[in-house]
Amino acid sequence: MHLRNLDPGFRADHMLTLNVDLSETKYPDNPKRTAFFDEVVRRIQALPGVRSVAVAGNLPFTYNGDSMPIGAEGIPDPPPDQRPT
């Protein structure tokens, strides 16, 4: 809960995010997927008022089903099978 009140170091206002799932049939490999996103970035950058565009695998502070161990400064790490996620 305390993390929600911390300054994340970036401004999230005036920001639009999208989730894009590409068809594996139409975009079966990385070169085709890269070309798709390069074209999307180019077109969005050309829109009036757009200052920057980025493509990311995961957005900060969102849950996508993955988990990772966490630790706290000054507290020794527990054994790998007992680490909180």
Q: Give residue-wise pLDDT tens across range 44-81.
A: 999 999 999 999 887 777 766 666 667 788 988 888 77
Q: Give residue-wise pLDDT tens across range 14-35.
A: 888 888 999 999 999 999 999 9
Look up the pTM and report it. 0.61
Amino acid symbol at 31: P
- Give residue 36's pLDDT: 97
CA distance 83 to 85: 7
Q: Which of 63, 54, 68, 50 is nearest to 17 (CA)?
A: 54
CA distance 9 to 22: 31
- Give the domain ranges of the chain: 11-50
